[in-house]
Amino acid sequence: MSLKAFHIFFIGVSAVLAAGMCLWGIRDYSASHNSSSLALVIVGGIMLALLIPYIRWFRQKMKRLASAASLLVTALLYDAGSASACPVCYGDPNSLMTQGVKSGILFLIVVVGGVLAAILGIGLTWAKRAKAIHPHP
């Protein structure tokens, strides 16, 4: 999947989620008349109102940039020698620089994994609390 296709897919998914947020807020507001539900409707509507024109603008921009991108790729392929990998990739696997890069990558994986695990934990906690507040019959 190209970056352009992924971006269009991501915008589409975001628009669907914004519409779902609006519908969820409307349904919850009609049942509870809670102001936070009304805020969901407003925020979701604003997001949807901004995403629809953005996807149209992005598709037009990509049409204009297609010719410039093909020219740039041709220029880069013409001089492929300057696009070779860094010395760490071709260097000694036991050197301090290579070990430092590996340690840095491992550290970033642990940090990102920890943040994602924390987000998952918060989501599960919220779901558990919501179920305790409104048990299903």
DSSP sequence for 45-70: HHHHHHHHHHHHHHHHHHHHHHHHHH
Question: According to the model, what pLDDT value does residue 120 have?
Answer: 92
Output Rg (C-alpha) for the chain, integer angstroms: 24
* 9-27 confidence digits (pLDDT tens): 888 888 888 888 888 888 8
The CA distance from 20 to 115, in Å, is: 26
Q: Higher pLDDT residue, 37 or 112? A: 112
Predicted structure pTM score: 0.46
As a whole number of Å, the end-to-end CA separation of the chain is: 44
* 92-121 confidence digits (pLDDT tens): 767 787 788 888 888 999 999 999 999 999
Q: Determine what percent of the chain is predicted with pLDDT higher than 90.
A: 17
Question: According to the model, what pLDDT value does residue 29 have?
Answer: 82
